[in-house]
Amino acid sequence: MTSASPETDETRYDFRAIEERWLPVWRKTQPFRAGDATDERPTKYVLDMFPYPSGDLHMGHAEAYALGDVIARYWTQRGFNVLHPIGWDSFGLPAENAAITRGLDPRGWTEDNIAQQRTSMERYACSFDWDRVLATHRPDYYRWNQWLFTRLHERGLAYRKHSNVNWCPKDQTVLANEQVVGGLCERCDTPVTKKKLNQWYFKVTDYADRLLDDLETLQSTWPSKVIAMQRNWIGRSTGADVRFAIEGREEPVDIYTTRPDTLYGATFFVVAADSDLASELAAGSDAALQSEFADYLDKVKSASEIERLSTDREKTGVFLGRYAINPVNGARLPIWVSDYVLADYGHGAIMAVPAHDQRDLDFARAMDLPVTPVVDVRDEEGEPLPDPRESGIATTGDGVLMNSGPLDGLDKAAAIETITAQLAAEGVGEATTNYRLRDWLISRQRYWGTPIPIVHCDACGEVRVPDDQLPIELPSAEGLDLKPKGTSPLGAATDWVNTTCPSCGGAATRDTDTMDTFVDSSWYFLRYLSPGKTDGPFDELDAKRWAPVDQYVGGVTHAILHLLYARFFTKALHDMGMIDFEEPFSALLNQGMVQMDGSAMSKSRGNLVRLSEQLDEFGVDAVRLTMSFAGPPEDDIDWADVSPAGSAKFLARAWRLARDVSSEPTVDLTTGDAALRAVTHRTLHDAAELVEGFRFNVVVARVMELVNATRKAIDSGPGGADPAVREAAEAVAMLLSLFAPYCAEDMWSMLGRENVARAGWPTVDESLLVEETVTCVVQVKGKVRDRLEVAPGIGEDALRELALASPQVQRTLDGADIRTVIVRAPKLVNIVPA
RNA sequence: GCCCUCGUAGCCCAACUGGCAGAGGCGGCCGGCUUAAACCCGGCUCAGUGCGGGUUCGAGUCCCGCCGGGGGCACCA
């Protein structure tokens, strides 16, 4: 690069002038373009979660990108070839809803927002590689969604089924389980209801075990909170299937239980009200019961998720007048239907053991059904727990089996083992595993998404669109009514819908649903690796070179959804032989949120802080530095508690150091003042460790210390001409380049150098880190009585003698006998009197 | 209801595998610079770590029980 350094005003720190000076330079030099295949530096893939283009950047983006940038810029300084890309998660409801409200074309609205966000990111000095941007709403991206869908479909991992799905009455679309939060639609907070529809799914449950077990490999590099949430979400439970004969029905019915040991305590049988089995069994009973069942089913279906989930809800149900036979003892169990049994977990039917399951007990008490304890459960003192029949509290703990035939006298574990073996031997059951995790419902009845590449043909059925006909582009929104109405708006685009069957050439129609946008974000990290590729989603060699992501940075809001789906895609791609790793994100950092006055910012709350106003008032660097300095990255930042003005003040102070350096860039740094050099080198040494541990707030504090020490050296020490002052100022500039790139670049330029982002981390002189003496604390009975300046290498015996000889210690001891002396050389001696 | 986290100066936060409670900042106060103010420079102030026990030579750190804040899960048989 030739010297393009614009003139620097060397008298005062003016962040506006500095921003105007360097932004155009960086636009031209693109200092963060990733190195190509010939680059020999080791690679590092640092990824920030990509934003929705639903307006300009806000404070939350500012925090996330400030922190991601610290990491990306750090590895660049450490000599790595860093890939730090950005793009837009640009399909989805926000664009569509905005289009509906304002009568705009979602495409135009989306592209405008992307342009605005990009400009803001450049101003914010994000260290992105601008040659690799992607936006998921563009055909050159979603084409590969369709291609990947096709691959999954070929493998039976994408399929369609009728089932009761979560339905948002406001957005008029189905929702994935993961998008129902507390019974409400994640997007609009409308109570979610159920609807029976034919929908597309990805078979995530095939990967349940691997998704769970592989969390082990992330134990030390992902937040334990996220791992716990994923584990909990997958919810593996082990138990047994048990086959119950049904009177008047040819086929037996399986139930799933985690407590086969309590089989002798089953007193009734419950079928999920909204299951097919319930309807079938009801149809076989008398007319009065049939209509009672029909009424109940109506009530269950109209209940919102919110009502269904409320815990203190009374148990309800209907007796079907039919009986199931307990395979272990032939007992006739009355069959009830109820909504407390879920249709889509296990087999949608349970054996009820009210003595040892609280839900069953609640139901038994509501319906006046018998309760038979079969486990003698005791408390810590060995006293029997109160009888559930009296207490109303089921005894769910371990204990000795009773009233259970061959199981009597066994404990829970032994009983489970025995009974499971017996069931298997008799062919009426076996050990099984169940998961809370359900398959991923990916179809949406909305316009702004990836069309599903399937054609429906009367003759051939469901036909995949051949790869060479992809992408199936979204038709223009013009003339389409995008308002939610329960079926996809694409259905009205008749020219688009009507097509020919790829298989037989006859008349056929396109599938009109679009994909969940979480499909888009499940593999975007791979697309960045091969931006222009037209014959595949990504290049396998590029993937080998860069992937998996070394460091992922984003909000904890995606702890379950996005991360689980991306992990699923990665495993599926691995099984297709396209990549050689099974986890997409080797390390994860969850940054907190930015709040104001103790709560999330929002227009309606009236506590919204505008990023653009903060940037205008304090400058980009001050805002970025404040984000890093506020506290640990995973903590929330309350903007009312922090001080961007203070950050600006500090940056000015740092900047003036460069102004006051009066030595030449060529000066021999090793000849500088030893004391200041020691501070500089210790800071450089510690900062590396601290950044890698995400302790950015501490790094900033240490840079502040270094700035203070350098200031002192200039004003009342060796002075601005001392080489140590130059060395310190250069270190400050290099370190600040991670947090405050404009200020750092300007300092660097004043110091007669170019391109601070690539300055490189100076080699730390280990000899400067060695301290000549250390302070040894001498305690008597744990209380500090004296401090000794000793050599770091002092021996235990010598130190013990020194400490005992201390006059302070002698005075405190006052002739008392000494019981023991604990010596931790060279830092501490503790003398314990008898 | 269950699980996970966090409680350190007026405020935001530091304190390595248990070892001098304070690195840094905000605020406040004092002084220097200034005709004055701002800026700037220097200095000072302020807690014994939410409460109660325990382990230990020694506890902010480990254990138990409370209290308070935040988060997650919630009929998954």
Band (pLDDT 50/70/90 cuts) for residue A3 is very low
What is the pTM (predicted TM-score) of this model?
0.92
Band (pLDDT 50/70/90 cuts) for residue A10 is low
Determine whether the distance from the CB of A832 to the nearest atom of strand B is below 7 Å.
Answer: yes
Question: What six digits make up the tokens of A631?
Answer: 């506290």
Band (pLDDT 50/70/90 cuts) for residue A449 is very high
Question: Cα(A90)–Cα(A442) distance, rounded to whole angstroms?
Answer: 17
Model pLDDT, residue A834: 74
Determine whether the distance from the CB of A393 to the nearest atom of strand B is below 7 Å.
Answer: no
Q: Which residue has the tokens 């100022």?
A: A729
Band (pLDDT 50/70/90 cuts) for residue A1 is very low
Model pLDDT, residue A319: 95
Model pLDDT, residue A6: 44
Bases along strand B below 7 A from a protein CB: 3-4, 11-16, 19-21, 23-27, 39-42, 57-59, 72-77
Band (pLDDT 50/70/90 cuts) for residue A172 is confident
Model pLDDT, residue A306: 60
Band (pLDDT 50/70/90 cuts) for residue A280 is very high
pLDDT one-digit tens code per residue, A696-748: 999 999 999 999 999 999 998 899 999 999 999 999 999 999 999 999 999 99
Give the mean pLDDT of A515-531.
96
Determine whether the distance from the CB of A711 to the nearest atom of strand B is below 7 Å.
Answer: yes
Model pLDDT, residue A308: 62
Q: Which nucleotide is nearest to A307 (CA to C1')?
A: B75
Question: What six digits make up the tokens of A660?
Answer: 């006051």
Determine whether the distance from the CB of A638 to the nearest atom of strand B is below 7 Å.
Answer: yes
Question: Cα(A769)–Cα(A764) distance, rounded to whole angstroms?
Answer: 9
Determine whether the distance from the CB of A604 to the nearest atom of strand B is below 7 Å.
Answer: no
Model pLDDT, residue A8: 46
Q: Which nucleotide is nearest to A831 (CA to C1')?
A: B57
Mapping DSSP to helix (H, G, I), strand (E, B) and coil, where does residue A357 land? coil
A44 backbone dihedrals φ, ψ, rounded to 5°: -145, 125
Residue A631 CA to B64 C1' — how many Å? Answer: 31
Model pLDDT, residue A801: 87
* Cβ(A447)–Cβ(A480) below 8 Å: yes
Model pLDDT, residue A478: 83
pLDDT one-digit tens code per residue, A450-507: 999 999 999 999 999 999 999 999 998 888 888 777 788 899 899 999 999 999 999 9
Q: How many CB atoms lie within 10 A of CB A415?
A: 27
Which percentage of chain A shows pLDDT scores above 70?
Answer: 96
Mapping DSSP to helix (H, G, I), strand (E, B) and coil, where does residue A282 land? helix
Interface ipTM > 0.90: yes
A306 against A46, higher pLDDT: A46
| Closest residue to B41 measured CA to C1′ | A715
User: If you count them, how many residues does chain A have?
Assistant: 834
* Lowest mean pLDDT segment, chosen from A298-312, A335-349, A486-500, A550-564: A298-312
A805 against A303, higher pLDDT: A805
Give the mean pLDDT of A580-608.
88
Q: What is the mean pLDDT of chain A?
A: 90
Asked if pLDDT for residue A427 goes beyond 80, the answer is yes
Model pLDDT, residue A307: 65
Instruction: Characterize the bridge pairing of strands A318-325 and A507-510.
Output: unpaired
Asked if pLDDT for residue A372 goes beyond 80, the answer is yes
Model pLDDT, residue A4: 39
Protein-nucleic contacts, chain A 39-58 to strand B, CB < 7 Å = none
Determine whether the distance from the CB of A231 to the nearest atom of strand B is below 7 Å.
Answer: no
Asked if pLDDT for residue A798 goes beyond 60, the answer is yes
Protein-nucleic contacts, chain A 611-630 to strand B, CB < 7 Å = 629-630
Partner residues linked to A432 by β-bridges: A239
Model pLDDT, residue A309: 58
Which percentage of chain A shows pLDDT scores above 90?
Answer: 66
Q: Please provide the DSSP assignment of A34-87 as one string.
A: PP-TT--SPEEEEEEPPPP-SSS--HHHHHHHHHHHHHHHHHHHTT-EEE---E
Q: Which nucleotide is nearest to A303 (CA to C1')?
A: B75
Band (pLDDT 50/70/90 cuts) for residue A776 is confident
Asked if pLDDT for residue A44 goes beyond 70, the answer is yes
Question: Cα(A634)–Cα(A59) distance, rounded to whole angstroms?
Answer: 15
Asked if pLDDT for residue A826 goes beyond 90, the answer is no
Asked if pLDDT for residue A193 goes beyond 80, the answer is no
Question: What six digits make up the tokens of A110?
Answer: 């989306």
3-state secondary structure A122-181: HHCCCCCCHHHCEECCCHHHHHHHHHHHHHHHHCCCEEEEEEEEEEECCCCEEECHHHEE
Asked if pLDDT for residue A5 goes beyond 60, the answer is no
| Closest residue to B13 measured CA to C1′ | A631
pLDDT one-digit tens code per residue, A77-119: 999 999 999 999 999 988 888 888 888 889 999 999 999 999 9
pLDDT one-digit tens code per residue, A616-671: 999 999 999 999 999 999 999 999 889 999 999 999 999 999 999 999 999 999 99
Question: Cα(A338)–Cα(A349) distance, rounded to whole angstroms?
Answer: 10
